[in-house]
Amino acid sequence: MQKSFVYILTCADNSYYTGVTSNLIKRLEQHISGFFKDCYTYTKRPVELSFYAEFTDIQMAIDWEKKIKKWSRAKKEALIKGNFEALPNLSKKKFSK
């Protein structure tokens, strides 16, 4: 069974990049070296791996990547820090009184 990974990189400009791959080490090396000149991270190097999760189902990994990409910065930071109990509250919309 092939493994897949969803990962978050922290870029030099303090932005986050979320991706999915079947070879985390190779993909990280590509980001670090600037292998793909059209990639978001190319001009934002150096990058650092901040989070990754392993999946046995590539479609599930892709689905999670899509979800994480839509998350707020605060929610991504909670995930990176392992503050999983904060994730549901960071999903709720704040309404003014």
- For position 96, what pLDDT does the model report? 57
pLDDT the model gives residue 1: 79
pLDDT band at 81 (very low <50, low <70, confident <90, very high): very high
Look-up: residue for tokens 């934002």?
44
Tally of residues, the chain: 97
In the prediction, which pLDDT does 55 show? 98
Asked if CATH classification 3.40.1440.10 holds for the domain at 4-72, the reply, yes or no, is yes
Q: Which two tokens stand for residue 89?
A: 């509250």
Q: What is the pLDDT of residues 13-72, one digit of tens each?
A: 999 999 999 999 999 999 999 999 999 999 999 999 999 999 999 999 999 999 999 999
Q: For residues 84-95, give the mean pLDDT.
A: 78
**What is the residue whose two structure tokens read 């999983």?**
84
Which tokens in the block code for residue 61? Answer: 């990994």
Half-sphere exposure of 18 (CA within 13 A, CB side): 20
* Domain limits, the chain: 4-72
